[in-house]
Amino acid sequence: MYLVPLYFVPGPFVLYFAMIKFPVPDDSCEYFDKEHETMTREQIETLQVERLRETVQRCMNNPIYKQRLEEAGVTPESINSVADIRRIPFTTKADLRDNYPFGLSCVPLRECVRLHSSSGTTGNPTVILHTQNDLDEWANQVARNLWMVGLRPDDVFQNSSGYGMFTGGLGFQYGAERLGMLTVPAAAGNSLRQIKFMKDFGTTALHAVPSYVTRLYEVMQEQGVDPRRDTKLKVLAIGAEPHSEEQRQRIQNMLGVKAYNSFGMSEMCGPGVGFECKEQNGLHFWEDYYIVEIVDPETLEPVPDGEIGELVLTSIKREAMPLLRYRTRDLTRVLGRTCPCGRNHVRIDRMKGRSDDMMVLRGVNIFPIQIEKILMNFKELASNYLITLTTDQENDNMTVEVELEELFTDDYGRLESLRKEVTRQLKDEILLTPIVKLVPKGTLPVSEGKAVRVVDKRTVYQ
Ligand code: AMP
Ligand code: ZN
């Protein structure tokens, strides 16, 4: 694809020829990878069929996939349209766990150059292998995203995300380098140092989980640092954990810059799978790399665009461990398939949550994000909150603890009426009455990685 010849002449009669993969486009170009980013729907589907065939062929190298595909009567030649993907059986996290660590690999281990392991948001580890090409393509996806929101080689990119097994660190690192920015691999935590780096190195773009960005801002306030005045920040990439639109707005207001939602998961590579463009009207999922389906989690049948269902992804350009129809457990919907930015890659709504994050309390289904969006609308409340579920005399209860903005008030009457109003609005949203506790700022635990929003202490799990 990006193979372009580069000629240069160091001596008068010598012509050297080199092949450069993934060149960085001209600064003025709107797209990092124009050819793929601006494909028409027809072109996307033609490429998807071709790559799905190749992927099925590749999966035949793996005995587990081979047996499943044979049982379903699927061969590469039998795939003639994107809809044919529905003939392929689903893959689940349990498949990865049952075949831990390398059982779903499609290449010999000697062809792999890295693995990432995810404890997942929900338990046992899974392992994902990468060939060098997988890593190159992954970096290309991330570079594409960062370019899309206006970052260029002159920018300074600080990655305040955990490095190591968590893909947010190395994933963004290689992508930002591919784009050609000066990178600051600050990793997560140590907020004072983060702020010093931002000021000293002229950081213009920051990547972190949303809950950490709010923490960073609190430390800035404590230190008398005004991000608008004292930093050169212009873009934030936030993701890796569910967050509400209200939380995003709050982050944008705090730091005075646009915050773009970034979706990724280790099983597909890591960050880079989906990212918002400047329109901020949903995440473009890169359909030259993935086939995106939204299915009803019960019937596993596709749901119409606009309806919420489970996100199912098939990686169609990966070598070491492509996943066929992987059930992500993330709940979302298709918002559209065109965009004023010129990219026709499907636009996916921000995640409503994971089906395994759903709390069932007295028969009512509740997602943490429903609670977050109410809390974030109160300017008297800070950004950190914790939901605790308990059983008291056979009744399940929910307690929502939320930190107060420091400068608000210590007037008991005002606090009590605020607490009542928060309780009322939460009840309207989740249809049952939680116990609301307003606590001083800095009381609730802060995580450097993905925030833990729910603690389930119920004696009988539902
Ligand atoms: P991991 O593989 O450990 O990075 O976890 C991937 C999971 O993180 C996804 O399946 C989602 O549940 C969650 N996640 C990642 N990015 C986002 C995002 N932008 N919004 C909501 N959830 C996200
Ligand atoms: Zn767009």
**pLDDT for 297 beyond 60:** yes
Q: Which ligand 1 atom sits closest to the C-alpha of 239?
A: 19
**pLDDT for 32 beyond 60:** yes
Burial of 123 (0-12, 13-18, 19+ CB in 10 A): exposed
Using a 6 Å CB cutoff, which residues line ligand 1? Answer: 118, 120-121, 167, 239-242, 261-266, 328, 330, 351, 354
What percent of the chain clears pLDDT 70, i.e. is strictly above it?
93
Diameter of the chain measured on Cα atoms? 90
Q: What pLDDT is recorded for position 399?
A: 97
Q: With the C-alpha atoms ordered 60, 64, 70, 74, is the resulting torsion angle positive or negative?
A: negative
pLDDT tens per residue across span 89-108: 999 999 999 999 999 999 99
Question: Rg of the Cα trace of the chain?
Answer: 23
Q: Ligand 2 centre and the CA of 432: distance in Å? A: 38
Pinpoint the residues of the chain covered by CATH 3.30.300.30: 359-456
- The domain defined by 21-355 carries CATH number 3.40.50.12780: yes
User: Which residue's alpha carbon is at the smallest distance from atom 9 of ligand 1?
Assistant: 265
Peptide bond into 227 cis (omega under 30): no
Pinpoint the residues of the chain covered by CATH 3.40.50.12780: 21-355
Q: What pLDDT is recorded for position 394?
A: 81
Pocket test for ligand 1, best of 170, 351, 356, 372 (most atoms within 8 A of CB): 351
Q: What pLDDT is recorded for position 449?
A: 87
Q: Ligand 1 centre and the CA of 271: distance in Å? A: 9
The pLDDT confidence band at residue 121, using thresholds 50, 70 and 90, is low
Among all bound ligands, the one having the nearest atom to the CA of 127 is: 1
Chain centroid to CA 329: how far?
A: 13
Q: What pLDDT is recorded for position 8?
A: 44
Average pLDDT, integer, range 36-57: 98
CA dihedral 320, 282, 238, 48 (to 10 degrees): 10
Of the candidate ranges 183-192, 296-305, 402-411, the one whose mean pLDDT is the lowest: 402-411
Q: Ligand 2 centre and the CA of 83: distance in Å? A: 24
Q: Ligand 2 centre and the CA of 346: distance in Å? A: 9
Q: Which ligand 1 atom sits closest to the C-alpha of 274?
A: 19
Q: Ligand 2 centre and the CA of 284: distance in Å? A: 7
Average pLDDT, integer, range 115-121: 78
Q: What pLDDT is recorded for position 82?
A: 98
The pLDDT confidence band at residue 366, using thresholds 50, 70 and 90, is very high
Q: What pLDDT is recorded for position 179?
A: 98
Query: What CATH code would you report for 359-456?
Result: 3.30.300.30
| Run of H or E including 374 | helix 368-375
| Run of H or E including 273 | strand 271-276
**pLDDT for 370 beyond 90:** yes
Q: What pLDDT is recorded for position 3?
A: 42
Among all bound ligands, the one having the nearest atom to the CA of 240 is: 1
Q: What pLDDT is recorded for position 123?
A: 59
Q: What pLDDT is recorded for position 93?
A: 93
